Amino acid sequence: MPDQPMLDRSPFLQGPFAPVTEEITALDLPVTGRLPADLDGRYLRNGPNPLDADEPLQHWFLGAGMVHGVRLRNGRAEWYRNRWVRSRQVAERLGEPWPGGPVHAGMDFAANTHVLAHAGRTLATVEAGALPYELTDDLDTVGPCDFDGTLPGGYAAHTKLDRRTGELHAVAYCWVRDHVQHVVVGPDGRVTGTTDVPVADGPMMHDFALTDRYVVLLDLPVTFSMDAAAAGVQLPYTWNPAHPPRVGLLPRTGPSREVRWFEVDPCWVFHTLNAYDDETGRVVLDLCRYEAPYDLAALTGNGSPTLDRWTFDPATGVARQDRLDDRPQEFPRVDERVVARPHRYGYSAVTAEVGAATVGQDGSFADGAFADALLKHDLASGTVEAHSFPRGSAVGEAVFAPSAPDAAEDDGHLLAFVHDPDRGATDLVVLSAQDVAGPPVARVHLPLRVPLGFHGSWLPDGR
Ligand SMILES: [Fe+2]
């Protein structure tokens, strides 16, 4: 039986992870520097923010979702808002009526993992069988979304938007199923197709990748554990050495019998950077990789992820696994316009080994145990630029915002929440993507600390 996660000293409830206790609306925020006029839209980021911070067995992945957002327009920061996503449990805990709506298989998890926009909807997403929640432009909860009744099951945290077709791709998994499901949502916001791919053992598939030709499936050895579930483990997915690690190339139009599987070394992957078909027909997949075994229940003590490149040749069946950068890093992102197509640049957040050596006696993280820097990779030249923030800054995922719809791949800005330890609150930091190491272009000063969280999006107006 795996150890219970987190115990009563969960580091994920303390220090830079500690939840905030109130929802705030702040208007016309102070800005240091100059906000680029082309930043016209909303930067939103989702993450866990438990309502009961003294809950002794809280796993970081299970806290109630809270979306933090900043609205930029005409060089001004018009507002900051943070709002819990009103799942049934959250609404009840807040003493509010639950908005109601569809629920898949009785699962109504906190939609705490990502926030994105598609077909006019803003969606907070989560995986493992639950539905996303639709939010208003001002981050109020509309309710669960099953894409106008067209989604046959649960949904996924991570999605890939193909900007040429307007299709939103996802891979949904759920422990009650003997398959994972590729879901395509059309530009009208309705599901246009699903493909079920049989898998064994109920693998967790947190993320996937997309190319012009393929959906890239990561079938790795963190799988559902009935023993762990029966023992009351809150997130019952465990390392399963009997589960053969493999990567599947599913033709985007199916059928599932045409999925091509490649064996890979035992390892764990939360996130892909991007994937594409190269000029020879191989699939190139960049990702952040952890060494095996991976202890999901603990999260800590798993070593540091590296940026790797895996290449699959459907013609020969040969797979390669190469290291691009051995600096510890996570939350890889590309310019969303190059998703599924060749990318030159990638962005990630530096992270350090989160383990016993970095967790203090009181359970808090030692200074610098999480990320205090952002990286820009130039994968054509093999060079890396870093922007280092002061110690204790707790930098999370950075999102790229192009300066114009047709701007070059790195012509734009990086947006990230960065804690200011001197002020005791968080800034939305804007870096020039073509001068990542240079001083920030602007810092929007928020009225509170934003806990370290998961994923976000830059949602420009009118595009
Ligand atoms: Fe993720």
Question: Residue 254: CB partners within 8 Å, gap ≥ 6?
Answer: 182, 193, 195
Adjacent-strand bridge partners of 284: 276, 311
Asked whether residue 360 carries a pLDDT value surpassing 50, the answer given is no
33 CA → ligand 1 middle, Å: 31
- Ligand 1 centroid to 201 CA: how many Å? 21
Q: What is the mean pLDDT of the chain?
A: 91
CB 78, CB 39: distance < 8 Å = no
> Is residue 5 scored above 90 in pLDDT?
no
Most confident of 43-57, 345-359, 409-423: 409-423
Contact 111, 130 (CB under 8 A): yes
- Phi, psi (rounded to 5 degrees) for 88: -60, -45
**What's the pLDDT at 303?**
82
What pLDDT does 288 receive? 97
Task: Give the confidence band of 356 by pLDDT, cuts at 50, 70, 90.
Answer: very low
Structural domain includes residue 387: yes
| Domain boundaries, position 357 | 7-460
Per-residue pLDDT, 53: 64
> How many angstroms does the Cα of residue 205 sit away from the middle of ligand 1?
10
Q: Give a yes or no: residue 448 inside a domain.
A: yes
- 169, 197, 281, 446 from 182: Cα distances, Å: 7, 8, 22, 38
pLDDT, mean of residues 351-366? 47
C-alpha 456 to ligand 1 mean position (Å): 10
Of 62 and 322, the one with more pLDDT: 322
CA of 243 to the centre of ligand 1 (A): 22
pLDDT at 62: 86
Q: Is the pLDDT of residue 147 over 70?
A: yes
What's the rounded Cα separation, in Å, for the pair 444 and 36? 12
> Residue 1 domain-assigned?
no
- 418 has which bridge partners? 395, 427
Helix (H, G, I), strand (E, B) or coil at 2: coil
* Domain annotation covers residue 2: no
**Cis peptide preceding 293, ω within 30 of 0:** yes
- Write down the pLDDT at residue 297: 84
CA angle 119, 430, 342 (to 5 degrees): 55
pLDDT of residue 205: 98
Q: Distance (Å, rounded) from C-alpha 101 to C-alpha 145?
A: 8
Residue 213 placed within a domain = yes
- Interval between CA 157 and ligand 1 midpoint (Å): 7
Q: How many structural domains is the chain composed of?
A: 1
pLDDT confidence of residue 322 = 98
**Alpha carbons 96 and 190: distance in angstroms, whole number:** 29
CATH code assigned at 66: 2.130.10.10
pLDDT tens for 119-141 read 999 999 999 999 999 999 999 99
User: For residues 130 and 175, what is the distance between their CA atoms, to the nearest angstrom?
Assistant: 11
Q: CA angle, corner 433, sides to 432 and 439, nearest 5?
A: 40
Band (pLDDT 50/70/90 cuts) for residue 2 is very low
Determine how β-strand 306-313 pairs with β-strand 283-291.
antiparallel
pTM, two decimals, is: 0.94
Per-residue confidence band for 20, with pLDDT thresholds at 50, 70 and 90: very high
24-52: average pLDDT: 96
Q: What is the mean pLDDT of residues 269-280?
A: 98
CA 315 – ligand 1 centroid, Å:
31
- 75 Cα to the center of ligand 1, angstroms: 30
- Going from the Cα of 268 to the center of ligand 1, the distance in angstroms, rounded, reads 13
Does residue 407 lie within any of the structural domains? yes
453 alpha carbon – ligand 1 mean position (Å): 10
Evaluate whether 193 touches 181 at the Cβ level (below 8 Å).
Answer: no
Q: Quick check: is 383 in a domain?
A: yes
Residue 397 lies in a domain: yes
pLDDT tens for residues 74-90? Answer: 999 999 999 999 999 99
The residues pairing with 316 across neighbouring beta strands, listed in sequence order, are none
Helices of type H across 167-325: 226-230
Residue, of 157 and 4, whose pLDDT is higher: 157
- Average pLDDT value for residue range 257-266: 96
Separation of alpha carbons 76 and 79, rounded Å = 9
Closest CA to 230 of 175, 268, 178, 177: 175
Contact 252, 275 (CB under 8 A): no
pLDDT for 156-189, tens place per residue? 999 999 999 999 999 999 998 999 999 999 999 9
Q: How far is ligand 1, taken at its centre, from the CA of residue 280, in Å?
A: 30
Q: How far is the CA of 207 from the centre of ligand 1 (A)?
A: 7
Query: What separation in Å is there between the alpha carbon of 111 and the centre of ligand 1?
Result: 12
